[in-house]
Amino acid sequence: MSEKLSHRREIQGLRALAVVAVIINHLFPKLLTGGFLGVDIFFLLSGYLITIQLLELSADGSMRSNLLKFYARRIRRILPSALLVIWVTIALSFKYLGPVIGNETLGDARWSTLFFANAHFNSLKVDYFGQGATSPLLQHYWSLAVEEQFYLFWPIALFLIALISKKMTPVLLTASLSVLTLFSFISIFIIEKSLTYFATQTRIWELGIGALVAVVGARTSPKILQWIAFLILISSLVLVDASDQVPGIVIVPVLLATVILLNVSEGKLHLVLGNRFMHYIGDLSFVLYLWHWPIIELHRQLSFTELTRSDSISLLLVTAILAVLTHHLFENPIRFNKYLIRHPAVTAISGSSAITLSVLATYLIAKG
């Protein structure tokens, strides 16, 4: 995936809209009851962008070299900031919430570092929409786990299909993704309802839709349809709530609307999604998402009260400041480090070592 595509203004605008929706839903839940659908938008965008990147890589060079480049990019993009927030959250939990919550956070951190947080929280019977109960400080890492699990098997599958037949690759990819997406969607109604929100198998279809669009190509829709899609997306964020079955059929309209908005040609709508402010928020979207939940939940567990409007505004400001500092002083220097870009093997070894050391540290601290 070229930097030009990944930073295309309407896609950055969709990223910005998604992360703002999630944060508003957590800070002002009555204002945007369906804001949690921002995560579903992220899933589709991830499936789309990652598959385009993989298709570009599979067109030339060796499978081993290109897979190494792909995983090195993912490591530089995801791992540094993810580990930073994990360990800051661990430190804050011990300092302000005590050893019991601190040790629970250590356990959550272990699975979050390994990108199996979703399975871990399902095993603990964590309810995403639970009312009046405290939530894990790293609960939001469930969505990163789903994405990274998809990134582990999908690139290998795609490259193997490309090796089988260059001419038949689009057909085989379309067929494979269609079957995978269908079975994933059906699984929502088969497995235990309390497990569907965090489960990988009930979320793959959202990434799969994005991947399918990447394979067949995103089309430019009529301008009136682009506005209708935008209105559907905003309406879903406002009207959907925790009483609806999520994941489920209620997500389909917002995902289809997102597909239409992948190619925006209508001038005013392009200005809405592609202005400089939205573009910048899109750049910050990952670190905004990482920081917002532990900040909110730490405050909630310290205050023992519902968030007031002033609380929410203050927490939003703290999240924004931490996100900007992390983005410019930590995330980008590592992500765009020229040495690491030229040496993907070094990135892969460093990332694997960081994960291993982080997991070992959670055990050592717990025993100490």
Q: What string of pLDDT tens digits covers the 368 residues of the chain?
A: 444 454 578 899 999 999 999 999 999 999 999 999 999 999 999 999 999 999 888 877 678 899 999 999 999 999 999 999 999 999 999 999 999 999 999 999 999 999 999 999 999 999 998 866 689 999 999 999 999 999 999 999 988 888 777 767 788 899 999 999 999 999 999 999 999 999 999 999 999 999 999 999 888 899 999 999 999 999 999 999 989 999 999 999 999 999 999 999 899 999 999 999 999 999 999 999 999 999 999 999 999 888 999 999 999 999 999 999 999 999 999 999 999 999 999 999 999 999 999 999 999 999 87
Predicted pLDDT at 64? 84
Residues comprising the chain, all counted? 368
Whether residue 237 contacts residue 73, with contact meaning beta carbons closer than 8 Å, is answered with no
CA dist 355 and 106 (Å) reads 14
- Beta strand residue intervals within the chain, DSSP E: none
Predicted pLDDT at 161? 85
Predicted pLDDT at 1? 42
Whether residue 14 contacts residue 41, with contact meaning beta carbons closer than 8 Å, is answered with yes
How many Cα atoms within 13 Å fall on the side-chain side of residue 304?
A: 1
Q: Note every long-range contact of 180-183, with CB atoms under 8 Å and residues 24 or more positions apart, other chains counting.
A: 180/204, 180/205, 180/208, 181/205, 181/208, 181/209, 181/212
pTM exceeds 0.85: yes
Give Cα separations from 301 to 89, 127, 140, 279 (angstroms).
Answer: 13, 17, 16, 33
Name the one residue in this structure whose structure tokens are 């356990």: 107
Cα torsion 227, 228, 233, 238 to 10°: value is 110
Predicted pLDDT at 16? 98
Predicted pLDDT at 132? 62
Predicted pLDDT at 61? 66
Give residues with Cβ within 8 angstroms of 73, minimum separation 6: 53, 344
Predicted pLDDT at 218? 83
Predicted pLDDT at 2? 44
Closest CA to 56 of 124, 97, 6, 127: 6
Give residues with Cβ within 8 angstroms of 343, minimum separation 6: none
For 143-173, give one letter per residue: b (16+ CB within 10 A) or e: bbbbbbbbbeebbeebbebbeeeeeebeebb
Is there a cis peptide before residue 247, judged by omega within 30 degrees of 0? Answer: yes
Whether residue 109 contacts residue 362, with contact meaning beta carbons closer than 8 Å, is answered with yes
Token pair for residue 288? 């905004």
Predicted pLDDT at 256? 97
List, for residues 169-216, the tens digit of each pLDDT value. 788 899 999 999 999 999 999 999 999 999 999 999 999 999 999 999
Whether residue 215 contacts residue 209, with contact meaning beta carbons closer than 8 Å, is answered with no
